[in-house]
Every structure is written in C-alpha cells, then in structure tokens.
Structure 1
Amino acid sequence: MNTAIKSMTTRASTTTSTTDRALRPTGVNKPLNQASGNTASAASSPTPKPRTIDSLQIGMNWFDERPGGLDRMVASLIESLPAQGVTVRGLVAGSENVRTSTHGVVTPFAAPDAPLAKRVIGLRRAAVELRNARMPDVVAAHFALYAAPVLGKFSRVPKVIHFHGPWGDESAHGARGQANVMVRRAVERHVYQRGKLHIVLSQAFGDVLHKQYGVKPRTIRIVPGCVDVDHFSSDIDRRAARTALGLPQDRPMLFCVRRLVSRMGIEDLIDAMFIVRQKVPDVLLTIAGKGPLMAALQARIDYRGLSQHVRLAGFVADEALPLWYRSADVSVVPTTALEGFGLTTIESLASGTPVIVTPVGGLPEAVAPLSAELVLESGGFQALGAGLAGALLGKRVLPSEAECRAYARSNFDLPVIAAQTAAVYREAIDS
C-alpha cells in the first residue's frame, strides 16, 4: 500500500471523537496524502459566492430507465450541482424520453442495449454537438467505456474522473471471459490516466485507483456517495410501513437490497439466516433485487429449509424503497468484494433504520463514524449470523432512528456532496 494512503487510513481509524468523525468525513476534498482540517470554523464564516462554471457529465445509463448505483449518483449530481454554481449537461445511454424528461439537460446518444459500435458512433456525434454548442469548463467522466471515445474531443478542457469502481474487476466476478476483462481494464487505464483530478467514494477505492491503475495519490479526492435524504425520510412509522406492504407486525424483520450477483454476498446472508433462526425463531428476511442468481438463491433457501424465514421480493421500485427500509428493524449489506461505498447503507440510515455491514471496501468508512457496532468483525456467514442475531436481540447497541437520520443528512445529503464535488471541479479548473 502507498505510504501516504496508509497513513491517512491510520489517522481516520484512530480518531477518538465519534462526533467529530460524523461531522468531518476523513479526506473529503483533500489529496490522499493530506489530512482534512476541521470544517466547523470554515462553515461559520461567510464566504463569497463562487463563480458559475459549466460541466459536461458523461454517465452510463439514465437512472429512471436502468437503475444502478452509478446512475443514481450521476442523476443526483445533475439535479443538485446547479445550486452550487455548476451548470450541467449530461450524456448517457437511454431513450429519447430522457431528453424530454430532463428538458434537454441530458442527451441520450443511443439505447443502452444497442450494438457497441452504434453506441460509440452516437456518443461521438452527441459529444461534438454539445462541444460546438458550448465548450464546458470541466468534463466529468463517470464511466470509462463511454468516456474513452470522447475525451480527446475536449483536449484543452480539464477532466475529473469519478471512479465508481473497478469496471474490469467487477466483470471478472461474473461470467465474462478473461480477454473481455483485460480489454475493460485497458480502457479504464486509458481513461484514468487522462484525468487531472480523480474523485473516489472512499479511502478503500482510493487505494484501488492508486495500486491497480497507477493513479498518483496527489490527484485523488475523496467525496462520498450522496442520497436524496428527503426521499427516504418519512413520518410513517414501522407499523404503518408494514401495513402498507402487507408484512407481519409481530416478527423481527431484516431487509437487504442488492443486485443478485455473487460478489454481493447474498449466499452468505442466506446461510447466516440458519444461524439467526436458531436464536430468533420468528425472524423474517426480505431480499430485494434482481439478477442472474435469482433461481439459485431460491433453491438455496429451499434447501436450507428457510422458506418461512427468507423471501426474495424481486425488483423493488425506487418509490417503494423508503417503505421497505422503514419496515425493517435492521437492514444488512453483506458484500464480499468490490464495495466502494454502498449507497444502500445511507438510504437505510436516511430512512431511520440502522444497517449492519461487512468489513469490506468502503462500507466501514460509510457507517463506522456513526457507530462501530454497525460493522461486523469479519465476513462470512458465521459473522453475519452472529451479528444480525445480536442486533435483533439488543446485544449490539445500534443508533436510534433520530441518530441515523441526522447522520445521513449532515454527511451525505445532496447539497452536502454537491458542494464538495463542485469544489473539486473548481480546483481542476484553477490548478
């Protein structure tokens, strides 16, 4: 590990005040080899309104059409950056409805499932049209595949690369061939080396960006993920949420929302429920999400004799997620690999529901400042089982509903993260 990055991690882990950690996410808007200062004094003194800058956001898909963590982040930034003095235009794969619904702010260049050649041609054409209409002050690239063909068309414009995760490594956990994985990694390296500054979601992903892609730590800034806290905040209580969803009132309930792929740890979670059931006999876990493992996971549930304790809910619409989080006593993120931040952790906290996470990637960074009890001691089904049972039985002291909501709002709400992102964009322009 790079010495500068390691020392930063050490400072974060040895901070003595939980309150300070909650108010000051370590390293936000700082190079990885610098410690962040106390932001309280800066916030108390008036500062001049920053000048307006123009950004071009190169995303992947449009969230309303193909929901995903990266897509949610891009849509959130497009919505919230203008209030920080950053005008936005977006480029994504999507239907013409995207242009209409965003009043022309976001340009769809091709359908997401169109042949790659058609997508690239459409992407280049759209990028040139946007450039000719108005040259941006900064280009923000969120997805390497779509950034690679067009960054050269903005040769004199500073680029900020948002690193949402190792695209090649994520495909390696699926059914992709090794040649495909190598091509993806090459595309990533090409794009990442062209960034003037790089935004990562966590210290963990900063380490990945440096070690695997050779990006210099001095160019890396940590800006955590964001959620629309108001969307997940509701006055509805747990009983009312369960009534609305047709769920039982008299059972301890767990909730997990994940793509059903192997690295998400759903297999471990199902196995863990065999342990939880021994200590909490009436427990019920609902797993929301879709993916290629759906049939295999249902077979695993049946084989373990857990059909009365684990339910696969399939895809849950974004509008219904706050109710599902609110209905649960505890939510869980059981990821086994490649988790840079985990937006679902903050969604749960914004809903007032504590979340138990595995000690993988950036998950501890997202929740440990609120409470170390939210982070399991290790991965695997045994640690999951013991931790979840302990949480339901009150043996793990979890933060209250009010504490969860306050932590999410003060650290990860849209205006908070948009301001930090805008500061990085201005730094890239000015440096």
Structure 2
Amino acid sequence: MQSFHIALSWSTSGAGGSGRVVETLTDYLPRLGVEVKGAVLAPADVAERTDGRLQLLAPSGTGGLKRLVASREMILHALKTAKPDILASHFALLSLPAIDKLKAQPFVVHFHGPWAEEARVQGSGKLAIAAMLQVERAVYRRGDRVITLSKAFADVLVRDYSIKADRIRIIPGSVDLERFILPPSKQTARAALGWPEDRKILVSVRRLVPRMGLGNLIQAISLIRKQHPEVLLYMVGKGPLQKQLQEQIVSLGLEQHVVLLGFVPDELLVNAYQAADMNIVPTLALEGFGLIAAESLAAGTPALVTPVGGLPEVVGDFSSDLVFESTSAEDIAAGLKRFLSGEVPMPSPEACRSYAEKHFAAPLMAERTVAVYNELV
C-alpha cells in the first residue's frame, strides 16, 4: 500500500502534536508495509531527515497563496505519478486546493483539532474564523474516514462539522518510549537539572497562553502552600503570558513555591518529567489528546489533569483520581492535597510506565492506522 500525506510539519517543528503524529507515521507505517510519501511546510531539511519520504512544500517565507498553489501542484503530481492508495490530510487548508480532484481517491483526514475554534480562542476576527470553519467543513466532509485522537474530538467532529459517526475512527496518540524512560532514580534526574531533593516537586509543561489554565494552577498553589510548604512548582514553557504569570506569583508571595523556567530543550524535558513527583495539566479548553500526560506516564510520573477534551481519556482508566473535578483553582488544589497528604496513594513509576507501554506505544498507533487505511483499499 502507498500513502501520500499533506501536513504542516514533521516532528515537533511548528505544529506541536500533529507534527509528532506525522513523524510517528512516517517512521512506523513502512514497517507495516505502507509506503509513506508526502509534503510539509517544516522543517526545511525534512527531505534529508526522512530519507526523502517527505518533501518541503514551500520554502520558509513563501506567501500564503503560493503555498496553496504549491500544495495543489504537489498533490496532483503525486496522484499522477505515485498513484497512492491513500491520500492523508493532516491540515485542512493545505488539502483544500486539490479537493476537486479527490472524488475517486480514498481520502483520510487526520483531525488534530478544530482550527477555527482554536483561532477563536486566540482572538482571531469573526470573518477569519468563519472562513476557517468553511475550509474545515469542506475537507472533513470529503474524508472517507476521519481519524481523531480522542472521543472528545470525535464528538466535536459530529457536533461542529456534521461528520457522520460511522466515518470517524479514534486512534490515541503515541509516545516515544525509547526517549521517555524511567530514570535510575528521581534523585539522579533532579541532580541533572539542579533541582532540590527535599521538596515535593510539581511540573507543568505548557505554552504560556490563556487556554492552558496556568493562572488557576498558580492560584491553587497559593491555596495549599501553608498546609504543604514543601511544594515547589516548576512551569516549563514560554509565551505571551510570562509577565502576567510572574506578576501573579509575586503578588501571591509564591516566589519560593512557583518558578517559571521558560523554554527547556527537548533533551532536558525527559529529565523534567522524571524529576517531578507529579505533572500537572490544568488546561481550560481544546485539549484533543494530551500528549504531555502520556509522555509523563512513560517517564514514570503521574499526570494530574483537568476534565477537558481528551485528557481524562489518557489517564482516567489508569486512575480516576488523576482527573480533577473541574478546571477551578479550588478543585485543582483539592486534587493536589489528596495526593500530597497521602489520602490517595501516588501511582508508582513502574505502574505509570507499564500503562504507557500498553496504551501509547508508537507501533500500536501505526497498526490501528493501517487498519483504517485497509477499510478503504
């Protein structure tokens, strides 16, 4: 079987979790007999890094219209020469230019999130949001199958895009289990980062933007610090809210309890998960899967999450205690106190790792994807 993929990015460059899905499929589908070709907008050296499987759609700085023209030409060329059995879309806008040529082509949409809704949350104008929604609807409704990472996003497809449920397939995301591993000890991981050994350390790896709920998490720490003065929260990530969050930390007198670390390189991110006692995901909206929760489990650290989107699907079957009652600071604080006080036992690193291996292995995601492709071939 041959597949052709059109996407924003490969790996983690520029498109977050969707780029990791593309990377995983590019690596693992060929091991299952599915040849992968495709085009992405980033990184610039994608052809070299994927042994020619993926090509650069257009150089960095190329205008939007030229990108769309290049996308159409790339798809039409693939249909004429490679004649793939499956055309897979990972970003609606890049697939739209060739949609008129896809009537007889098995077409799979990999739905990574509601583009228009994400733009609305980020403050885009009404006309732009309406245009995005129309693009999405046109592409998603053309899909013979629509693959999404969670039931939460499957529900979004039905409710907001009128996609029939029998065309939707849920395939959870995957974790690089060779990278996210158990540490020799938590002390070793903390030593690598220069983190203290005598504190109860929480970590939150999030972009510093409003929908991530980081202000509520900081407020939750203020609610528990007197009862649990040993708590220390490291917030990993950068974004436009950095100044506002720092001001909140100072105004609440939490300088000894909350530290904004800013950007942490990927090679140290594993250490951050390993060194923490808990990983906190306080998202307010639009969390289709929650890759960071799965990564944390793979590294042996439980992830406590808000009941938003696909987050409960990642950890809920492992332990329902890992899901906060709501996104409020009060409920986050209550959930943290249950673990910090010992009222609820902390899942062991080995149990976290075992659960991740069973549910979020990359070969498993690839196998499920091939099964969906086979429905159409």
Common fold: TM-score over 0.5 = yes
Who is 1:37 aligned against?
none
Who is 2:127 aligned against?
179
CA distance in 2, matches of 1:330, 1:266: 15
RMSD after superposition: 1.5
CA distance in 2, matches of 1:409, 1:186: 39
Q: Secondary structure of 1:399's match?
A: coil
Amino acid at match of 2:210: S
Task: Choose from 58, 75, 82 the match for 2:30.
Answer: 82
Task: Choose from 102, 111, 114 the match for 2:50.
Answer: 102
| Corresponding position: 1:300 with 2:252 | no
**TM-score calculated relative to the size of structure 1:** 0.84
CA distance in 1, matches of 2:251, 2:11: 36
Task: Choose from 344, 350, 354 the match for 2:292.
Answer: 344
Q: Residues 13-412 of structure 1: matches in 2 within 5 Å?
A: 53-66=1-14, 68-111=16-59, 113-412=61-360
Q: Secondary structure of 2:40's match?
A: strand
Amino acid at match of 1:228: D
Q: 1:235 deviation in Å?
A: 3.8
CA distance in 1, matches of 2:25, 2:340: 36
Who is 1:18 aligned against?
none
Structure 2: runs of 5+ lacking an equivalent:
none
Return the structure number with greater relative CO, CA threshold 8 A, min gap 6.
1
Q: 1:185 deviation in Å?
A: 0.8
Render the CA deviation track for 1:144-182: whole Å, top value 9, x for unaligned: 111212343444221111111111101111121111111
CA distance in 2, matches of 1:367, 1:64: 23
**Aligned length in residues:** 377
Render the CA deviation track for 1:108-133: whole Å, top value 9, x for unaligned: 11245532112212222322333333
1:107–1:126 Cα contact (<8 Å) kept: no
CA distance in 1, matches of 2:112, 2:365: 15
Amino acid at match of 2:190: R
Q: Which runs of at least 4 in structure 1 moved beyond 4 Å after TM superposition? A: none
Q: 1:90 deviation in Å?
A: 2.3
Structure 2 vs 1, CA of residues 95 and 402 (structure 1 numbering), >3 Å: closer, same or farther? closer
Amino acid at match of 2:94: Y
Q: Secondary structure of 2:142's match?
A: coil
Q: 1:64 deviation in Å?
A: 4.7
CA distance in 2, matches of 1:380, 1:273: 12
Structure 1: runs of 5+ lacking an equivalent:
1-52
What percentage of residue pairs aligned between the two structures are identical?
44
Q: Secondary structure of 1:376's match?
A: coil
Render the CA deviation track for 1:218-239: whole Å, top value 9, x for unaligned: 1111111111112101443210
Q: Which moved more, 1:304-313 or 1:399-408?
A: 304-313
CA distance in 2, matches of 1:348, 1:361: 18
2:8–2:15 Cα contact (<8 Å) kept: no
Q: Secondary structure of 1:417's match?
A: helix
1:373–1:397 Cα contact (<8 Å) kept: no
2:213–2:327 Cα contact (<8 Å) kept: no
Amino acid at match of 1:405: R
Amino acid at match of 2:89: A
**TM-score calculated relative to the size of structure 2:** 0.96
1:275–1:386 Cα contact (<8 Å) kept: no
Q: Which moved more, 1:202-211 or 1:274-283?
A: 274-283
CA distance in 2, matches of 1:56, 1:265: 37
